[in-house]
Structure 1
Amino acid sequence: MGKVRFLMIGVGGMGREHIRRLLNVPEAEIVALSDPSEAAITLVKQNFPQLANIAVYTDYQEAIAQSGADAAVIVSPHSMHFEQGMACLDGGLHVLMEKPFVSGSDNAAQIIAHAEKVNKHLAVAYQRHLMGPYMYIRDLIENGELGNINYICAYQAQSWLKGATGTWRQNLALSCGGQLNDSGSHLLDIVLWVTGLEPESVSAMIENHGREVDIDSAVTVRFHGGAIGTFNVVGSASIGWHEDVSIHGDKGSVLYRNNKILVAREGEKSLTEVSEADLPSSSDPDIDFVNLVLGRVSEAAAPSSTGLRIARLTEAAWESAANGSKLISLA
């Protein structure tokens, strides 16, 4: 296979970002767009003149059958991911799924098993697995420079309550959950990925602020091995975006502060900022997925198992909050 031919399912804002990336990959070719929104299709053709004559489908099932694609990128509302992903796999397509993967852990386990059965690649577009700052932190921990991880504090603030008002993201039937399941999904994922820790039990408090989905979440996790951590996902903030992650081990600490990294290694009492020149080179999930389909890498940077892991943790947090912060076991 010289090129990977892509069908784009969902071409809204994030869909257009995937298109932009794929158009910069020589081994990728976008052969069809599928979206019921005429306005979304029009924006794609305005922004990317090279796609002016591309095949367009309002029905994704017709697109799977007729487009001649090798792979699909699914960027539709969350509730549609499972059905569309299963249809793509049944149609012989590899699938790159936008976060937070599919609706619920049961569906996640089912689609993962189905991808294995039909021998197709299935990956999640958690882009942080391919970004220099997070790869640096993961390497730091994997190399043992922080020792055993004892405590994690992860914090994310975004004006999501106002910014997503009136969109499908605050419609439970379409989004399958609120900020914890949306931007917060990235925070949960990156902590689990860089530390390699697995949650053992979860307790949470959640505030919906009158909406039908979660807006603010305070989640406490006990990990296997004894580490504890807190995830603070604030969707009601007035600021556009801020994120901090602090990881403390028995030998050292690393602090992520909105793309700045500070490290104290064993014996150091103060933190030192890491130079950008010392960070690994970044890539993105679209390049990674093309390399996966072409056999250049053996596993996606964010394999489908990451989606299942985050679904289980998110569901446990929702269950705990719904039951008065009851401790929920994930063992």
Structure 2
Amino acid sequence: MDTIRIGFIGCGNIAHSHALRMSQLEGVEIVALADPGERGRQLLKQKFGLEQAAEFDSHTDMLASDTMDAVIICSPHTLHARHAEEALMAGKHVLIEKPMTCSSEEAKRLMSAAERSGKKLQVSFQRHFLPPFLYIRSAIADGVIGKLTSVTATLLQDWKDAQKGTWRQMPELSGGGMLMDSGSHIIDVLLWTTGLTPQHVAVQLECHGSPVEVDTFTSIRFAEGAIGSMNIVGLVPLAKLKETYAFIGEAGAIFYDNGRITLQLNGQEPVEPKLPEAVTDPDRSFIDAIRGKHEVLVPAEYALKVVTFTETIYAAAGYEVVPAKQPDVAGGRVS
């Protein structure tokens, strides 16, 4: 396969990040854009010089055109499962934005569809490629801080006000609130870096008048013995988000504060460890996986763990995302 031809389902903001990375790769061409909004398609075209890319109001029409090898799913959350499954069944490799799906049932069905199709399915959890998180995962696996005893994770973001009136606060499109949205990254980091298995949770949840949940405070008991907490806070007067973690072990601790890593071993002075270099990203690794250079680096199994834990938190809080019925949207992005 010489040139890999890419189609987009959904042309909103996150599509621009993927288009930028794809435009920097050799042997990759963006050939089709599907979105019910012409403005979204045009903005993407103009920004990245995609004059030759075909435009479609409907993702089904784009897939039927059979002009592409792979599809990037950037549509609203509740549409992910449908769009990705149809792309796989049309014989396309799929890179899908987070959350992969809004339920574990959908995730398992999508994984089965990928297996039947023989095509690649990768989830765009970008923290898997960032040096601080690569270091954290490696250090924990290598026993640098000993057996984990506790883990805390916090995300503070002006999510409620920033997303007011957008599809992210429409349950039929978002599938949940901040936990399902930005929170999926935090859950992914918590589970991927530590390898821990959530066993019991206690949850406090608040919507602050929003149609979806905004704040969740979750205490966790892991099967391996560690305890933890995860606080996803969407009503915060911050211009920039604040993301912090503390990984505490029997021999020391690793602290993360908005990209800065501190290693504190028992009885020693704190240090900032040397981090590994970033060698790839969600888009480059997806293309390399299609070309057979390596396996998919963020397979669907991680996304299944994330959405399963999200369901556990919602259930513990007695929270139901309503309405559950998906809207009849033909393409990707909804303004």
TM-score (structure 1 length as normaliser): 0.93
User: Is this contact kept in 2: 1:288–1:301, CA < 8 A?
Assistant: yes
Residue 235 of structure 1 corresponds to: 234
Residue 96 of structure 1 corresponds to: 95
Quick one: distance in 2 between partners of 1:311 and 1:293?
25
Aligned to 2:299, which of 291, 299, 303? 303
Residue 309 of structure 2 corresponds to: 313
Residue 248 of structure 2 corresponds to: 248
Quick one: distance in 1 between partners of 2:102 and 2:255?
32
Quick one: distance in 2 between partners of 1:38 and 1:225?
50
User: Is this contact kept in 2: 1:14–1:75, CA < 8 A?
Assistant: yes
Cα distance, 1:282 vs. partner?
A: 4.7
Gaps of 5+ in 1: 324-331
Quick one: distance in 2 between partners of 1:178 and 1:213?
5
Cα distance, 1:53 vs. partner?
A: 2.4
Quick one: distance in 2 between partners of 1:244 and 1:282?
24
Quick one: distance in 2 between partners of 1:296 and 1:202?
40
Residue 45 of structure 2 corresponds to: 45
| Residue 170, structure 1, aligned to residue 166, structure 2 | no
Q: What residue identity is the alignment partner of 2:220?
A: V
Cα distance, 1:284 vs. partner?
A: 1.3
Quick one: distance in 1 between partners of 2:29 and 2:120?
18
Question: Compared with structure 1, are the counterparts of its residues 17 and 33 closer, same or farther at alpha carbon in structure 2 (3 Å cutoff)?
Answer: same
Q: What pairs up with 1:104-253 in 2 under 5 angstroms?
A: 104-239=103-238, 240-253=240-253
Quick one: distance in 2 between partners of 1:4 and 1:224?
43
Quick one: distance in 1 between partners of 2:202 and 2:110?
28
Residue 259 of structure 1 corresponds to: 259
Residue 289 of structure 1 corresponds to: 286
User: Is this contact kept in 1: 2:31–2:52, CA < 8 A?
Assistant: no
Q: What residue identity is the alignment partner of 1:283?
A: T
Once the two structures are superposed, residues 225-281 of structure 1 have per-residue CA deviations (whole angstroms, 9 ceiling, x without a partner) of 11111000010011131010000011121000110000023x434421235xx3332
CA RMSD of aligned residues (A): 1.2
Structure 1 counterpart SS, 2:75: coil
Structure 1 counterpart SS, 2:179: helix
Once the two structures are superposed, residues 164-221 of structure 1 have per-residue CA deviations (whole angstroms, 9 ceiling, x without a partner) of 0010000000000000011111001011111111212222111000112110010112
Residue 33 of structure 2 corresponds to: 33
Q: What residue identity is the alignment partner of 1:233?
A: I
Once the two structures are superposed, residues 28-82 of structure 1 have per-residue CA deviations (whole angstroms, 9 ceiling, x without a partner) of 2211111111110111122112x01211111101111104211110000001111
Residue 328 of structure 1 corresponds to: none
User: Is this contact kept in 1: 2:6–2:32, CA < 8 A?
Assistant: yes
Equivalences, count: 318
Cα distance, 1:222 vs. partner?
A: 1.4
Q: What residue identity is the alignment partner of 2:287?
A: V
Gaps of 5+ in 2: 320-335
Quick one: distance in 1 between partners of 2:80 and 2:47?
25
Deviation >4 Å, runs of 4+? none
Once the two structures are superposed, residues 127-181 of structure 1 have per-residue CA deviations (whole angstroms, 9 ceiling, x without a partner) of 0000111001111111111111110010110000000001000000000000001
Residue 12 of structure 2 corresponds to: 12
Quick one: distance in 2 between partners of 1:260 and 1:313?
27
User: Is this contact kept in 2: 1:6–1:28, CA < 8 A?
Assistant: yes
